[in-house]
Amino acid sequence: MLATLTLFLLHAFSAELTAEPSGELRIEISAPDARGPLYLAGTFNQWNPGAAAWRLKQIVPANSEAINQQPTTWVIEVAKEKLSHSPIEFKITRGSWQTVEVNADLSDIDNRTLTAEDLLSPLKLKVAAWADDRSETRAEKGTVTGKLDVFDFASKRLKNSRKIRVWLPPGYSDTANAERSYPVLYMHDGQNLFDKNTSFMGAEWKADETATKLIQSKKIPPFIIVGIDNTGARGAEYNPPFTYQGDVANIGDRYLDFILSELMPAIAIRYRIATGPENTSLGGSSYGGNITLYALLRHPEVFGQVIVESPAILAFGGALLDRYLANPNWPQRMFVACGTRESKNESVQKHYTSRIEALRRTFAKQKIPATRVRLIEEDGALHNETAWARRLPAALEFLFGKKNPDEG
């Protein structure tokens, strides 16, 4: 997901850890109460907020009264070799991103980091509060603008289920538009698109507000947005099968099969969808940017326009971008954007910037016109939903705006 998550699993850049650590590292976490269980989610497990292997055990003190209102301690023993690749970034959750740790004032917390020195002795960490405490301390209404349909969708291909969020543009239900078909933009991490109450740590893309404003101002034509929620298997689903987490291949091919063979036909039955690559777009951020790039490799005939925000192109040694640049399939329009502060690690950011420049050079070498590709590097922008929301107006105008004469 998502907000401030720097999803770079860099086996190639492990200079911080010069020797392979051995033994186990004890991590002890003090939480404000006994709500749990607690988990670690980070670069070591594809940011899965509820991975069973990273679940902590609660230490219940003897003769404790009213334990649910008292600070409690949780522990985990981690094999140090699992933490041997830098950079190591993580957060503490209660099993989902809606229950991730936050600061005492309920503001978003930065990723925690581990260095080589941290692995030398037991760690003692403290959680100040949880993200879902926000709803308990102040009543917040949903932030959806317009008509949003939300329904559960089971996938036979992936053997799991998730929510699908379909945003309909202004005028969709008007009698005058009863025979009108609409272009569609499929987007990953659907829970982060429309409503701060469902999004990661309260930060959303504001896709509904942005699209409404652009449509009503006639800068772009009406279109439908289909948000595809992520699951606990996000890291595996959003990366191609020639990349690995440990010795297990990712399943991005199966995730794309789910979209093409299961979800898209169902959407076409429920809604008035215009067909063809010129009317079918795909977009995502971070790992969602990765799976969007992979979709161009695997199904260039399907997706005519794409949004690739802050792709985690350094993950898995940069294998995805290397393969794409070796034989790129340029869509009709391709919007790529990132920030100059995607990672707080200067070495990581330097390598990230170099890979973005390689993409830019490929654009130039192959003489891809500016009407087809746009690459934005926003000065000072971070790796989070706030940055992606800020750049979304430019992305939507580029994808759906009027064509220039030389585009045909």
Instruction: Say which CATH number the domain at 103 has.
Output: 2.60.40
Q: Please determine, for residue 14, whether its predicted confidence score (pLDDT) is greater than 50.
A: no
Q: What pLDDT is attached to residue 112? A: 87
Name, in order, each residue with C-beta under 8 angstroms of 16's C-beta and a sequence gap of 6 or more: 86, 87, 115, 116
Q: Sorting pLDDT into bands at 50, 70 and 90, what band is 64?
A: low
Q: Report yes or no on 11 lying in a domain.
A: no
What is the percent of the chain where pLDDT is above 70?
87
Q: Please determine, for residue 12, whether its predicted confidence score (pLDDT) is greater than 50.
A: no
Alpha carbon distance 72, 87 (integer Å): 29
Q: What pLDDT is attached to residue 344? A: 78
The answer to which of 30-34, 123-127, 164-168 has the lowest mean pLDDT is 30-34
User: What pairing do the DSSP bridges indicate for beta strands 88-93 and 112-114?
Assistant: antiparallel
Q: What pLDDT is attached to residue 48? A: 83
How many other CB atoms sit within 10 Å of the CB of residue 15? 10
The answer to which of 61-70, 133-142, 211-220, 385-394 has the lowest mean pLDDT is 61-70
**290 or 405: whose pLDDT is higher?**
290
Q: What pLDDT is attached to residue 201? A: 64
Average pLDDT rounded to a whole number, residues 379-385: 92
Q: Sorting pLDDT into bands at 50, 70 and 90, what band is 138?
A: very low
Average pLDDT rounded to a whole number, residues 282-289: 96
In 3D, which of 49, 28, 39 has the Cα closest to residue 125? Answer: 28
- Looking at the structure, do residues 296 and 343 belong to the same domain, yes or no? yes
- Looking at the structure, do residues 43 and 173 belong to the same domain, yes or no? no
The answer to which of 92-96, 288-292, 394-398 has the lowest mean pLDDT is 92-96
Q: Please determine, for residue 370, whether its predicted confidence score (pLDDT) is greater than 60.
A: yes
Q: Domain range holding 187?
A: 147-402
* Among candidate residues 94, 111, 137, the one where a domain is terminated: 137
Q: Please determine, for residue 16, whether its predicted confidence score (pLDDT) is greater than 50.
A: no
SS3 at position 397: helix
Whether the link from the prior residue into 87 is cis, omega within 30° of 0, is yes
Q: What pLDDT is attached to residue 371? A: 94
SS3 at position 6: coil
SS3 at position 42: strand
Q: Sorting pLDDT into bands at 50, 70 and 90, what band is 248?
A: confident
Q: What pLDDT is attached to residue 106? A: 83
Name, in order, each residue with C-beta under 8 angstroms of 98's C-beta and a sequence gap of 6 or more: 131, 132, 198, 200
Domain count, the chain: 2
Alpha carbon distance 158, 261 (integer Å): 12
Give, to the nearest 10 degrees, the angle between helix 207-216 and helix 385-400. 30
Q: Sorting pLDDT into bands at 50, 70 and 90, what band is 198?
A: confident
- Looking at the structure, do residues 133 and 159 belong to the same domain, yes or no? no
For residues 2 and 48, the answer to whether their CB atoms sit within 8 Å is: no
Tokens linked to 216? 């009503």
**78 or 248: whose pLDDT is higher?**
78
Q: Please determine, for residue 293, whether its predicted confidence score (pLDDT) is greater than 80.
A: yes
* Among candidate residues 106, 137, 168, the one where a domain is terminated: 137
* Among candidate residues 105, 137, 169, the one where a domain is terminated: 137
Q: What pLDDT is attached to residue 107? A: 79
Dihedral (Cα; 277, 283, 289, 291), 10-degree rounding: -50
Q: What pLDDT is attached to residue 132? A: 83
Q: Report yes or no on 45 lying in a domain.
A: yes
Alpha carbon distance 132, 36 (integer Å): 13
For residues 100 and 93, the answer to whether their CB atoms sit within 8 Å is: yes
